[in-house]
Structure 1
Amino acid sequence: MKAIPERLTYAQEKLIKLIEARKLRKWCQENGVTHSAAYKLALGEVLPNYRIIASMCHLIAPIDWLFFTDEPLPYESQLLPKWENTEPPKFIAAHRGDYRELAARYGLSELIAYNIFVARRKVPTVKLMRDACAEANPIEFFMPPSMEANLTYIPKKGDIVRAGKDGNKYLVITNSEKNAEYESFTGCLISAESDGIELTGTNTKGFADPRFLRTFRLGSSSLTVLIEKAEAELVDKAAKLAAEYIL
């Protein structure tokens, strides 16, 4: 086997494991995938595009192609039915009327955005799908508008998330079991103000302030996006202080 890239996407990792177990050829035969193409995708000799991801969305979750294994996934990996592409996918259909806004938001020219969202002469790029994770689960690029799906990620205690229509960051202080049971979660607002608990050991900078708690309903129109995990000691401190403020 040729050299494995140092940095792999979740999808590549899955294919590499099949190669190492000498099961890739059989997997390809069983699923109607060209072995040479899957092998090149695994080693990064061929880069995934919309059509490749769409053709395999029933085998490998679309989001697994968009993020590397050293990055947290903002949504759960979710397989889909085979994508027939006979109608505009959910995300494209939803933004047909505001394609200019999306062009500005994601650094597209208006012509490119028009061709993707209105004329459908072009397909979404991997970069666009990854960037759009800030507002939508990427499975929406591979499902018809009428299809319903569980787009909800269940936050865990210690997750740093972006939530709400204002897009603020929060440190989750409630555990995943309760979050799933009550279909909600509570988090401390993270801000630049120095009155809270300073975040350390994270890429996210700022202070988690237990005085400013907010509870979010899961599955609302404003989706919650995972950014990264905070250290357990910091989270426990924030949760303890938050309890004191509540009581």
Structure 2
Amino acid sequence: MLKAIPERLTYAQQRLVKLIEARELRKWCTNNGLTHSSIYRIALNEKIPTYKIICEMAHLIAPIEWLFYTDEKLPYKAQLVSAFDPKKSICKYIKEHRFDYKTIAEKYGLSNLSAYNLFVTYKARPTAAFIRQVCAEVNPIEFFTESIKEIPEQYIPERGDIISHNGELLFVLTTKEYTKKHTYVICCLISSDCMDGIALEKTHTKGTVNPYAIISFSFARPMPTLIETADKVSTKKIMKKATEFLVL
């Protein structure tokens, strides 16, 4: 017996419901390597479509059709793309906003921790609700395609940045202008513990900045990776300690 059809459906759900009514959903799922019970529940609003599921079906149902209801006009053309595996690839939007994730968090009402996990560590994935929010400015296809830009080359470390370079976690002391002029970066090593060190505060990165373990490297490949940026108070405290014997 067919369960009650929700009064309001997304364009994607409408496609699935038509398959249910034609008694073709199971065959369609089998032919496309999808789990029938899961897709059936999504069609009838019993399960929320995750980013992973939308990615898996991107070659069958245009991703934007999961974001808007049939009584709404699609703001962009519905496009099918190749099935996207978020475990193996980072989508264009996430990759290209790695270095301004705090700005994105403030704009769309995300916590800094949620944005950090989404854009920096990739421990979280975008929800359909978040992607719909971004639709006001960006075609959602950017969440389901890879970036063709070499993003690391756009990043120049700034004082207060916490970066990863050659397997080490570092706190940047030099300014972006200094790095542009002299083409190298001066940092303090961040360790799990350090006598006379300064513990990181208000950051997702845990550890102690060692103001006596100074590391410098030429700003060239391998490029450093931005982890996050410390707050101004912590940066000022670390700079004061580090510059007791180092002139920058």
Q: Tell me, in whole angstroms, the C-alpha distance in 2 between the residues paired with 1:106 and 1:81.
A: 28
- Determine the structure 1 residue equivalent to 2:120: 118
Of 100, 103, 120, the match for 1:101? 103
State percent identity of aligned pairs. 56
- Determine the structure 2 residue equivalent to 1:7: 8
| TM-score (norm. length: structure 1) | 0.58
Q: Tell me, in whole angstroms, the C-alpha distance in 1 between the residues paired with 2:96 and 2:136.
A: 15
- Determine the structure 2 residue equivalent to 1:134: 136
Q: Tell me, in whole angstroms, the C-alpha distance in 2 between the residues paired with 1:43 and 1:67.
A: 15
SS in structure 2 at match of 1:83: coil
The answer (yes or no) to whether the contact 2:52–2:85 under 8 Å persists in 1 is no
Residues 55-109 of structure 1, C-alpha deviations (whole Å, 9 max, x = no match) = 1111111111111111110111111101123221100011111111110110000
Which stretches of structure 1, 4 residues or more, deviate above 4 A after TM superposition?
Answer: none
Select between 35-44 and 79-88 the one with higher mean Cα deviation.
Answer: 79-88
CA RMSD after TM alignment: 1.2
1:1-247 equivalence runs, <5 A: 1-85=2-86, 86-146=88-148
Shift of 1:121: 0.8
Larger radius of gyration: 2
SS in structure 1 at match of 2:84: coil
Q: Tell me, in whole angstroms, the C-alpha distance in 2 between the residues paired with 1:87 and 1:38.
A: 24
* Residue identity matched to 1:119: T
**Number of positions where the alignment pairs a residue of Structure 1 with one of Structure 2:** 147
Q: Tell me, in whole angstroms, the C-alpha distance in 1 between the residues paired with 2:58 and 2:17.
A: 18
Shift of 1:21: 1.2
* Residue identity matched to 2:120: V
Structure 2 residue ranges without an equivalent (≥5): 150-248
| TM-score (norm. length: structure 2) | 0.58
